[in-house]
């Protein structure tokens, strides 16, 4: 089969021939129809290994412990080494596609869904909450703004650094946009919440933004560190955190043990699949590129100009 393998420099790929994977006992083998890039795909990775995680396609074969009736089903899913014509994924790491959703629209969803759903559930989001999402225009966070509403948020606030991204956030249903290059985030959030602050904050930035996000939360609120766009190190005042009784948490979801992602996707299926089917939750797609022209997709993501997810399509 053809596969996209990592080059010598981070975020570079090229086509190569690789053996078609053999599904394990609990796996499904998916013939991919669309693939989606994440920021992690731009990081350093072992040269020659197959790239990618997010995919959509059709189940071609199943392992011995998997229901054979699944063969032929259209699915979205997440697995290492997904940027190939075929990918083997654990059967709990795929979700059946709603018939309303095409392959290019489905491929960008898996990582975004499990990450944002997991963060919102970890924070204990409840009906009527105000949810603040930093770096709201990132491909993952754009899904989070929609999921927050589905899970009960009454008010969704998102941040962007520049005014030219405001319309993008409005299109996903965000109630208020804070332009952090022009406005003080904690002050603006308090203005929007009658002086209270946000019940739940999902921070995708870290670095200096984390302390700001903590100040934007209400007394007794919850802040979840989801992403580290500004790096893995943050500094904040522990005395202030304690005095305001803000709970700080973090999330990171790996493939082992299988149940971590499996349980999250099961929750997505129960709590959000209807919203995905009827369009209340959709990935924002910046651009689509042919599988054979994958490097242009990686270059687009690296440019920092993408408004939403960058997708690869296969015939």
All structural domains of the chain with their residue ranges: 2-108+283-313, 112-250
Same fold, 2-108+283-313 and 112-250: yes
This prediction's pTM: 0.95
| Euclidean distance between CA atoms 243 and 196, whole angstroms | 15
User: Which tokens sit at 139?
Assistant: 């491909």
Interval 128-162: pLDDT, tens: 999 999 999 999 999 999 999 999 999 999 999 99
Average pLDDT across the chain, whole number: 96
| Euclidean distance between CA atoms 217 and 196, whole angstroms | 8
pLDDT of residue 247: 96
pLDDT of residue 315: 81
Q: Fold for domain 2-108+283-313? A: Quinone Oxidoreductase; Chain A, domain 1 (3.90.180)
pLDDT of residue 98: 95
245 confidence band (pLDDT: 50, 70, 90)? very high
pLDDT of residue 291: 98
Question: Above pLDDT 70, what percent of the chain?
Answer: 100
232 confidence band (pLDDT: 50, 70, 90)? confident
More confident residue, 170 or 229: 170
Query: ∠ CA 42-254-5 to the nearest 5 degrees?
Result: 35
**Is the pLDDT reported for residue 2 higher than 90?**
yes
Q: What is the pLDDT averaged over residues 290-304? A: 96
Interval 30-40: pLDDT, tens: 999 999 999 99
**Is the pLDDT reported for residue 226 higher than 90?**
yes
Tell me the C-alpha to C-alpha distance, in Å, between residue 63 and each of 89, 92, 254. Answer: 10, 12, 22
Query: Is the separation of the CB atoms in 311 and 36 below 8 Å?
Result: yes
Q: What class, spelled out in words, does domain 112-250 have in CATH?
A: alpha beta
Query: Is the separation of the CB atoms in 118 and 264 below 8 Å?
Result: yes
231 confidence band (pLDDT: 50, 70, 90)? confident
229 confidence band (pLDDT: 50, 70, 90)? confident
Helices (H) and strands (E) counted in the chain, each on its own, are 9, 15
Alpha helices for the chain (secondary structure H): 103-106, 109-123, 139-150, 166-171, 185-192, 209-216, 238-243, 258-278, 294-302
What are phi and psi for residue 177, nearest 5 degrees? -115, 130
pLDDT of residue 114: 96
């Amino acid at each position: 089969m053809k596969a996209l393998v990592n080059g010598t420099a981070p975020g570079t790929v090229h086509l190569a021939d690789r053996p078609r994977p053999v599904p394990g006992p609990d796996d499904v083998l998916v013939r991919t129809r669309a693939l989606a890039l994440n920021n992690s795909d731009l990081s350093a990775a072992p040269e020659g290994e197959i790239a990618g995680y997010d995919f959509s396609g059709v189940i071609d074969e199943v392992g011995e412990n998997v229901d054979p009736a699944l063969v032929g089903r259209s699915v979205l899913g997440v697995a290492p080494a997904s940027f190939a014509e075929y990918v083997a994924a654990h059967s709990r790491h795929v979700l059946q596609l709603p018939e309303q959703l095409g392959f290019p629209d489905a491929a960008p969803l898996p990582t975004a869904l499990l990450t944002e759903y997991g963060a919102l559930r970890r924070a204990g989001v409840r009906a009527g909450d105000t949810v603040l999402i930093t770096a709201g225009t990132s491909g993952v966070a754009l899904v989070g703004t929609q999921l927050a509403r589905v899970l009960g948020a009454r008010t969704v606030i998102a941040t962007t650094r520049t005014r030219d991204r405001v319309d993008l956030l409005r299109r996903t249903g965000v109630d208020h946009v804070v332009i952090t290059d022009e406005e003080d985030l904690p002050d603006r959030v308090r203005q929007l919440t009658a002086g209270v602050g946000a019940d739940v904050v999902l921070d995708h930035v870290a670095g200096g933004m984390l302390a700001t996000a903590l100040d934007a939360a209400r007394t007794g609120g919850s802040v979840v560190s989801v992403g580290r766009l500004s790096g893995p190190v943050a500094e904040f005042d522990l005395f202030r955190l304690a005095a305001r009784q803000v709970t700080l948490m973090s999330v990171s979801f790996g493939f082992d043990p299988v149940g971590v992602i499996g349980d999250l996707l099961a929750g997505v299926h129960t709590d959000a699949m209807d919203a995905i089917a009827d369009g209340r939750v959709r990935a924002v797609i910046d651009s689509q590129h042919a599988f054979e022209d994958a490097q242009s997709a990686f270059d687009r993501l690296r440019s920092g100009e993408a408004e939403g997810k960058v997708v690869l399509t296969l015939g």
